A and B are shown apart, each in its own frame.
Chain A
Amino acid sequence: SQQGEEDPQALSIQEGENATMNCSYKTSINNLQWYRQNSGRGLVHLILIRSNEREKHSGRLRVTLDTSKKSSSLLITASRAADTASYFCATSLTGGGGNKLTFGTGTQLKVEL
């Protein structure tokens, strides 16, 4: 079964609104990463948060991590049509050697004009 599960599976918002996606995982992690995938393309790394961090920012992205609840959220502020994509969380597992990532099933975000 997947280590990470994103919620919701699909999200549709208007341009300018904020988009929030959640990721839950099952076992202890070294870090958690978020990736974006545009239709028909490979994944692109967005941001990494380590297990000892609670919040991180990068431009319009804000990521939080709650290790006690084994969950993370990705907030995209002031969404643009170009943010339309699928978003995946990926975890590096403690004891997994740190040298591979396990991906969730993704959230499809649609930002409408």
Chain B
Amino acid sequence: DAGITQSPRYKITETGRQVTLMCHQTWSHSYMFWYRQDLGHGLRLIYYSAAADITDKGEVPDGYVVSRSKTENFPLTLESATRSQTSVYFCASSEGHWVEKLFFGSGTQLSVL
């Protein structure tokens, strides 16, 4: 089914390990986003991308790295996972520059032990 897919759905890792969360969209949307969702904080923007090879920081980028070599993929890497990065991570996409509708994936629940 076309849309935006995230993998894995659940991930458990240990502090200090590198983890990559995958995001793939089939709409050829220009903009892609990574948010994290934590109780009491709602959704906070980590990184976003306007097009292939164009990325920018959001509100909480520290400890994360992104890349976008192809329009359809936007992986998020935690270079050295910390317990504070335990969260639910959502990838989203938007068709144009003016974000009038975000399409979200189903999320990745990450636990860092």
Contacts and interface: CB of A to CB of B under 8 A. Distances in A.
Interface of A: 2, 4, 30-31, 33, 35, 40-45, 48, 88, 90, 92, 97-106
Given A42-B105, A88-B42, A106-B42, 15 more contacts: A41-B106, A42-B104, A43-B102, A43-B104, A45-B102, A48-B100, A98-B97, A99-B31, A99-B94, A100-B58, A101-B45, A101-B99, A102-B59, A103-B35, A103-B44
Interface string B15-27: 0000000000000
Given A2-B41, A41-B107, A101 B98 contact: no
B42 A92 contact: no
Contacts of B103: 45
Number of chain B interface residues as a range = 20 to 34
Nearest to A96: B99
B48 interface: yes
B43 A88 contact: yes
A100 B48 CA distance: 8
Contacts of A104: 42
A98 B104 contact: no
Given A41-B107, A42-B107, A44-B104, A98 B99 contact: yes
A105 B43 CA distance: 7
A88 B56 CA distance: 24
Contacts of A31: 100
Nearest to B9: A40
Contacts of B102: 33, 35, 43, 45, 90, 101
